[in-house]
Copies of this chain bind each other. A is one copy, B any other.
């Protein structure tokens, strides 16, 4: 791909599987290789390889006196603005700041991210960096405006169970806390998730097909239409952050009312 059709971009791949030979880790490695072959710059946060600390605690704040009440919100803001966060957190914040797009590669565990990845968000997306009074307001502009975000998730269950009427809930609804609550909240433009289902015993043929589809999604990382969530400041919400009556598309219901 020439620079004329797709200029070089900076992409952060965060992956969260304990086994480097897993399907999940294989997809992460595939993404890195594919994006580099397309001329992009790629940085990787392989959370298990990094032995990423998942838990927010007083050790995250080198200046925090051990005997003082730890108010996480206030401590995050103070340490972030003073440049006094633990070095592992600061390094990840640099990567997010640097990136034009963030890809989260993880196995779905209990209808959510593995704890190590949730802990990456809890610790890296601090008040003062990802949200709070020191950065642009959430839901549209946000701290990370202009960046794109792609979830690439492997799922043991079959697709039908995550379909519109599937018992697990629609994939879009199950991932809403991440897609809308993390990405869109911080101003990132979330793409439709890339999901591989039925991964407990995935035949080689289906795995090859999944890689081809993933390649297509990666090629369109900067051109696909993001999920058109509504901006908070766009006139659709009242001062109490409730969607105004009648704004939603005819027939839209559930969490879809927040999609334009």
Contacts and interface: CB of A to CB of B under 8 A. Distances in A.
25 contacts: A18-B57, A18-B58, A18-B72, A54-B54, A54-B115, A55-B119, A110-B118, A111-B181, A114-B118, A115-B116, A115-B118, A118-B118, A158-B241, A160-B240, A160-B242, A161-B241, A167-B241, A167-B258, A168-B241, A169-B181, A173-B255, A174-B176, A174-B181, A254-B254, A255-B255
Contacts of A113: 118
A-B CB proximity, top 3 nearest = A254-B254, A115-B119, A253-B253
Contacts of A177: 110-112, 169, 174, 177
A55 B57 contact: no
A242 B166 contact: yes
Interface in A208-260: 230, 232, 237, 240-243, 253-258
B163 A242 contact: yes
A156 interface: yes
Contacts of A240: 158, 160-161, 166
A165 B18 contact: no
Interface in A180-199: 180-182
Given A18-B70, A161-B241, A237-B167, A173 B254 contact: yes
Contacts of A122: 109-110, 114-115
Nearest to A130: B110
Contacts of A118: 110, 112-115, 118
A71 interface: yes
Contacts of A176: 111, 169, 173-174
Given A111-B182, A115-B119, A157-B241, 5 more contacts: A56-B116, A115-B123, A173-B254, A173-B255, A253-B253
Given A177-B110, A177-B112, A200 B73 contact: yes
Interface string A115-133: 1101101110100000000
A143 B113 CA distance: 22
Interface centre among A58, A165, A176, A253 (most CB of B within 10 A): A165
